[in-house]
Structure 1
Amino acid sequence: MARELVLYCDESDISGRHFANFYGGLLVESRHLAEVEERILARREALRLRDEVKWQKISETYAPKYAELMDAVFDLAEEGKLKLRVMFTQNYFSATGLSSEQRENAFFLLYYQFVKHAFGLRHAGLPGARTRLRLLFDQLPDTQDKREAFKGYIAGLNRWHGFQQAGIVLPPDAIGEVDSKQHALLQCIDVVLGAMQFRLNDKHKEKPPGARRRGKRTIAKERVYKHILARVRRIYPGFNIGISTSMRGDYANRWHDPYRHWLFVSSNSQVRPEFGKHKKK
């Protein structure tokens, strides 16, 4: 059986107070896929999480259950059976010189960069072997024409020298959209993405209008975020969620690492001090 990589992709928070354009992915080799899905589904069943798992659903009651589910995800990551990536932009850096078309299609252009680079797929090849890539996007939020144009653009990665040198093949019929309600792995990405944008955009500090204290749901979400961070830091002590993860002198670690963050900064960006996270009000 030919080697196959299955990449699930999701997105969250196009805009945010400090950080925006969050993209997340979970990659599994097909030889591990059945085991990964079975273990995630078994943990969900044991926790009685039978409805769709989503960051926004976290409450005081469900926080411990979500934390346990994330343990199952990160156990698999530590065992080398799945990889997780998160990409985002920072409002402090603003791209300049963009055409109106580029601004209009910014969502898809950033998504393309995420697929192309976040997992280091150019380093994923095996000597003398071909590797088939399958892409499963959570339902894309735009018109049918734009979504199909994006998929065609993604299929163009077959012509990229990085894929060709690694023996990566991405058939057009292997690029699809799915309903996250039917895919437990996509739901797990949603929780990880939600946790990171929650903390990076200081949502853990929010209080209901007129209240002196934070709401119970905010406290519950912070608890899940801290649990996820603890699992990440078990892999990388001192992990900083707001910067790109170090490659530690080897670009191939973009592929090898079980978990990574990528702060995307355009080569033609300029600093906007007014969006500095620690700017005094």
Structure 2
Amino acid sequence: MQYIIYCDESVKNGEYFSNFYGGALVRSIHLEEVKTSLENKVSELNIHGEVKWQKVTENYLEKYKELVDLVFKFIKQDKIKIRIMFTHNAYIAKDLTKEQRDKEYFLLYYQFFKHSFGLRYSNKTGKPISIYTFFDQLPDTKEKNQEFKDFIFNLQNSDDFREANLFIHSKDDIAEAVSHNHIILQCLDLILGSMEFRLNEKHKAIPEGKKRRGKRTVAKEKLYKHINAHIRAIYSNFNVGETTGLKDNIENRWNHQYRHWKFKPNNKIENKQYLSKNKKTGPVIPT
């Protein structure tokens, strides 16, 4: 058995929510079925080029909806697990060192990878399970990117990974992916992008000098609602702006097919304007 984990990141500094990270986990026994089905669907729909949230348009809306339907079919069957993490601008980390601020992107990415899937609860077989990761191309220097990969590689020496009998064969199994070549990573981009779009209220954007929203904005809102309806078919009261509940079972960090994590620093101060329900100072956190 192997877990193949695809990871992506989105907006770092949003109006209300920031530091968006996303992950899709597929077990090796399901990988070929999932990849082939999604690739065939893209071909059948005659979608040209890479599937991306930024490419959602009125003309492609129905095609993207149909692709999302297939993605969520696999999510509901637990053949794909999706995790989304973000921070709220209301919570500001205190007393960070200069090094921590410089490495914030990678420190948060590390926390996301280590904890969001609940990997420590994933293996009841007693048999070793390997992990292969695809990170969408990392944005920093070669040295900083490699340092991050080293930290990911060394997770196998942590108590959580040892107890779950999880390992990574080699550093070559921590890959930087070109998303154009990985349909699962592209579909993850759709879901992650839709959440950033809604949480930062981009569905309300009206171009300067116009009285109405643009057609692309309307199409993106419709696709977000389509995605949200699928999530609510799994969890009826799902709140996209909050950490998904565990229902009194911590192992649901792994068991759940789909989860959100609103990351809050342990040592933080509150920016109260973002906690207000006054639209002039901050959003009502959407359901």
The alignment's TM-score, normalised by the length of structure 2, stands at 0.95
The whole-number CA distance in structure 1 between the counterparts of 2:255 and 2:279 is: 40
Q: Which residue of 2 aligns with 1:85?
A: 83
Cα distance, 1:173 vs structure 2: 2.2
The whole-number CA distance in structure 1 between the counterparts of 2:277 and 2:7 is: 31
Q: Which residue of 2 aligns with 1:125?
A: 123
Deviations 1:69-121 (A, max 9, x none): 11110000111211000000000111101000000000000000000000000
Matches within 5 A, 1:1-281: 3-171=1-169, 172-276=171-275, 278-281=277-280
Cα distance, 1:154 vs structure 2: 1.1
The whole-number CA distance in structure 2 between the counterparts of 1:183 and 1:277 is: 41
Deviations 1:124-160 (A, max 9, x none): 1133200001111000011101000100011120111
The whole-number CA distance in structure 2 between the counterparts of 1:257 and 1:275 is: 30
The alignment's TM-score, normalised by the length of structure 1, stands at 0.97
Cα distance, 1:276 vs structure 2: 3.0
Q: Which moved more, 1:202-211 or 1:167-176?
A: 167-176
The whole-number CA distance in structure 2 between the counterparts of 1:279 and 1:140 is: 37
Cα distance, 1:277 vs structure 2: 5.9
Q: Check 1:151–1:41 CA distance in 2 against 1; reply closer, same or farther (3 A cut).
A: same
Q: Any stretches of 5+ residues in structure 1 without a counterpart?
A: none
Q: Which moved more, 1:103-112 or 1:61-70?
A: 61-70
The whole-number CA distance in structure 1 between the counterparts of 2:219 and 2:97 is: 42
| 1:224 partner amino acid | L
Contact 1:18–1:277 under 8 Å retained in 2: no
Q: Give the length in aligned residue pairs.
A: 279
| 1:99 partner amino acid | T
The whole-number CA distance in structure 1 between the counterparts of 2:197 and 2:78 is: 27
Cα distance, 1:280 vs structure 2: 4.4
3-state SS of 1:68 partner: helix
CA-atom RMSD, angstroms?
0.9
Cα distance, 1:269 vs structure 2: 1.4
Q: Which residue of 1 aligns with 2:284?
A: none
The whole-number CA distance in structure 2 between the counterparts of 1:35 and 1:222 is: 30
The whole-number CA distance in structure 2 between the counterparts of 1:90 and 1:261 is: 13
Cα distance, 1:43 vs structure 2: 1.1
The whole-number CA distance in structure 1 between the counterparts of 2:5 and 2:269 is: 32
3-state SS of 2:9 partner: strand
The whole-number CA distance in structure 1 between the counterparts of 2:65 and 2:261 is: 23
The whole-number CA distance in structure 1 between the counterparts of 2:36 and 2:4 is: 16
The whole-number CA distance in structure 2 between the counterparts of 1:70 and 1:128 is: 35
The whole-number CA distance in structure 1 between the counterparts of 2:99 and 2:23 is: 26
